[in-house]
Chain A
Amino acid sequence: MTEEMTHPLSKYLRSAMMPHIWCSGCGNGVILNCFVQAIDELQTDLDKLVVVSGIGCIGRTAGYTNTNSFHTTHGRPIAFGTGVKLANPELEVVVISGDGDLFAIGGNHFIHAARRNTGIKVLCANNFNYGMTGGQQGPTTPLEALTTTTPYGNIEHPFNLVHLAAASGATYVARWTTLHVRRLTQSIKRMLQKEGFCFIEVVSPCPEIFGRYNKMRTGLEMMEWFRRSSVVENFSDPSKAEITPERIVVGEFVNIEKVSYERLLHEKIAQINEKSVGW
C-alpha cells in the first residue's frame, strides 16, 4: 500500500467539484494555484473571504475555491461584489474573472468600481479571446489575430488593461503572465493587503483555441512567447504597456494609497449621526 498523497493546498479547493473543466495547457490552473498560495501564506480568514466570478472558463474558479463563493451572470461579478462589500465591509471580496467578462460586457462596472475605489480585488485572466464559447474575438484580442469571428484577422484595437485600470483610479495595478508564478503570488498577496480597488492582469495561455488559430498550438509554445517577450518594468508608464507579439511589459504599474469608498461611506454615516445628536 502506498500512502495517499495530497497537495498541501488542496484544502483550499472543493474536491467534489473536481475534475475541473479547463483544457490541458490552460493558464487558469496556474492562476488558481497562485491565488490559493497567496491566501495560504497570508493565512486569510476563509470565513471572511468571498470569491466572485462571472461567466467564462476562469469563471468556474469561484466554485473551485473552498470559501464563500458566488458565480454571477456574465459581466456582473464586480457589481455583485460591490453589494457584498458595502453590506459587510469586513468581507474580503476577490473577483476572479476573464477579459471578456470584465472588459466587454462588464466594462462599465470595472471603470466605475475603480473610480469609486470600492475595496474589491480583481484578478483577471487575459487569454485574448472567448475561450468557453469556442474562441471568438474579444476586447483584448490583438490586432490581426485570428479568431473564429475574425477569420481575416482582427481589425479592432485591443484594450491595454493596465492603462485602463490606472486611468480609472485603481490603487494597485499589476500585470504578470502565468510564467511569473512567484511574482504573481507576491503580487496577489500585496493586492490582498491593500484597502481600495486593485487590479492584476494575468496574461494566460489558451493553446487549445487562441493558440491553435495563431500558430501556438501547445501551452509550451504560448509560454515560450511569454518568456521571449516579457520584460519586467516596475512602475513604468502603463499607457506604454500595450501587449504586442514582440513585447509584453509586466510588473507593478500603480501602488498608491487612497481611502476606500466603504471607509468614506461609513465615516460619513458616523459623522451624520454624531452631528445629529446636537439637534
Chain B
Amino acid sequence: MAKQRTLLTGLHFMNGDVACAEGAIAAGCRFFAGYPITPATEIAEHLSERMPELGGIYIQMEDEIASMAAVIGASYSGLKAMTATSGPGFSLMQENIGLAVMTEAPCVVVDVMRGGPSTGQPTLPGQQDVMQAKWGSHGDYEIIALVPSSVQEMFDLTIEAFNLSETYRVPTMLLTDEIVAHMWEKVVIPSSEKIRLVNRKKPNIAPEKYMPFMPDDDLVPPMACFGDGFSFHATGLTHDEQGYPQTQSSEVQHRLVSRLCDKIRKNADRIVRVEGVMVEDADVVVVAYGIVARAALSAIRKAREKGIKAGLLRLITLWPFPEKHVAKIAKQAKRIIVPEMNCGQLVREVERSAKETPVVFLSKLGEDPHTPMEILEAIRRSG
C-alpha cells in the first residue's frame, strides 16, 4: 500500500496545531516557512513530515522575519503559503505583514496566542494579540483574522483563511490560543471534493497589457506569478497600477491605500462570520471568541436554566470587526458582557459598535480562562 500521500479524510483525534496543519494541506498550502516557538511548534513539526509527502516545501528559516519574507516570496511564485508563530514571532513578522498587504500577497499567518508582553508565559494561553493582528504593522491597512474555538475549527478555519486570502489577496490570520492549539478533540475531515477551495484570480490578458495592480470591480487585481511570462514589478513603496513607485504623488497614495482598505471593508458582509446562540430574545448577551466562547456557551445555558434571558454572540471573524452584528444585538439587549483573556482589547470595538448599550468587561490573565461560573455570575449581576 502506498504511504498516505493524499489528504486525510474521515474521523480523527488530534490536537489543534495538527488540525491547523492538516487544514492548511487540505486548503492546498504547499509552502511553509517558520521558526520554532511555543505553543505553535507542533504545526511546523507536523508540516515538516507532511509537506514532503505531498511534494510541498517545508523550511525552517533563521527567524520569523525571514519566515514571513519567504512566505511572500513563495506566494509570488504561485504557491499557497503559510507561517505559524506565537506572540514574540508575530511581533517580528509585522513589518513583512505590511509588505504582504502592500504587495497584495495571499498568505496565511497563524498566531497561537500565549501570555505576553515580551516572552511572557510561553506555555499559557492568552488573547493579547488581537489588536496587534489588526494594527501591528505601520500605516493604514486592513487584514482578515479568524478565531477558532475548537480543534474542528482549527481545521475548518485554516481552510477558510486560505480561501479568503486568495480571494482578497490579503494576509489572513488565524488567531488561536494555547488551549485550542494543544487541546485534543474529534475532527471530522470531509473528502477533498467536498471541501470548497478558492484560488487567486489569474490575469486573462496579453502579458504586455497586464497591469499587476489594476483592480477588477471587486477591488482585487488578478495576480500573475513569477515565471508565468508576465514580467512585472512589485514593491513595498507606494505604487501605481503598473506597480511602479510613486513616492511623491498624494493622488496615488490615496488611491492605493484607500483601495487596500476598501477591498476588505466593502466586502465585510461577505467575509464576516459570527455564531449567535439564543440572542434573539436575550436581555444579556455575552460577546466572546476563541476558547472563552466555550465557557460563555455553558454560562448562558446555565443562565437560561435559571430563567435569565442570556445569549452568546461568538465571533468567528475578528477582523474586519463584526460591527453590524454587535450593533444588532445591542438594540435588543440591555447589557453586553465581554470576557477576554487580556486587559481589555476587543471590548473597545464592542463598545464602539454597541453605542448606548452598557458593556461589562471581564478580564482574565494567566493559566485559566474564565470559568462558566464566573461568566454566569457576571450575567446574574447584570440581569
Contacts and interface: CB of A to CB of B under 8 A. Distances in A.
B183 interface: no
Given A66-B231, A68-B227, A276-B3, A268 B76 contact: no
Contact of B231 (A47, A84, A88, A272): A47
A236 interface: no
B61 interface: yes
B77 interface: yes
Interface string B223-246: 000111111111111000010110
A23 interface: no
Contacts of A109: 62, 66, 69
A108 B74 CA distance: 20
Contact of A86 (B1, B57, B244): B57
Contacts of A66: 231
Contacts of B1: 279
B189 to A, nearest CB: 20
Interface in A129-160: none
Nearest to B55: A269
Interface in B238-257: 242, 244-245
Contact of B227 (A47, A60, A82, A265): A47
Interface in B62-85: 62-63, 65-67, 69-79, 81
A60 B247 CA distance: 13
A114 to B, nearest CB: 11
Given A84-B76, A87-B57, A279-B2, A71 B234 contact: yes
B212 to A, nearest CB: 10
B5 interface: yes
B234 A88 contact: no
A90 interface: yes
Interface stretch (A25-33, A72-80, A217-225, A241-249): A72-80
Interface string A226-251: 00000000000000000000000000
A169 to B, nearest CB: 14
A68 B244 contact: no
Chain A at the B interface: mostly helix, strand, loop or mixed?
Answer: helix
Contacts of A67: 231
A63 B237 CA distance: 11
A87 B79 contact: yes
Contacts of B76: 70, 83-84
A71 B232 contact: no
A167 interface: no
A1 interface: no
Contacts of B81: 83, 87
A63 B232 CA distance: 9
Contacts of B96: 73, 76
A60 B74 CA distance: 22
B33 interface: yes
Contacts of A73: 69, 95-96, 98-99, 236
B319 interface: no
A84 to B, nearest CB: 4
Nearest to A272: B52
Select the residue from A68, A82, A277 with max chain B CB neighbours within 10 A: A68
A63 B233 contact: yes
Nearest to A52: B73
A86 B56 CA distance: 10
A163 B64 CA distance: 27
B162 interface: no
A62 B228 CA distance: 18
Contacts of A39: none
Given A71-B237, A109-B66, A276-B2, A82 B231 contact: no
23 contacts: A47-B228, A47-B229, A68-B230, A68-B232, A69-B232, A69-B234, A70-B76, A79-B66, A83-B33, A83-B73, A84-B74, A86-B74, A87-B73, A88-B77, A90-B227, A108-B62, A112-B61, A112-B62, A268-B52, A269-B52, A273-B53, A276-B2, A279-B2
Interface of B: 1-3, 5, 31, 33, 52-53, 55, 57, 59, 61-63, 65-67, 69-79, 81, 95-96, 98-99, 103, 226-237, 242, 244-245
Cβ-closest 4 pairs across A and B: A83-B73, A276-B3, A83-B70, A87-B77
Given A47-B228, A82-B69, A88-B77, 19 more contacts: A16-B242, A71-B235, A73-B96, A73-B99, A76-B99, A79-B61, A79-B69, A82-B73, A84-B74, A85-B73, A86-B31, A86-B59, A88-B227, A109-B69, A272-B53, A275-B3, A276-B3, A277-B2, A279-B1
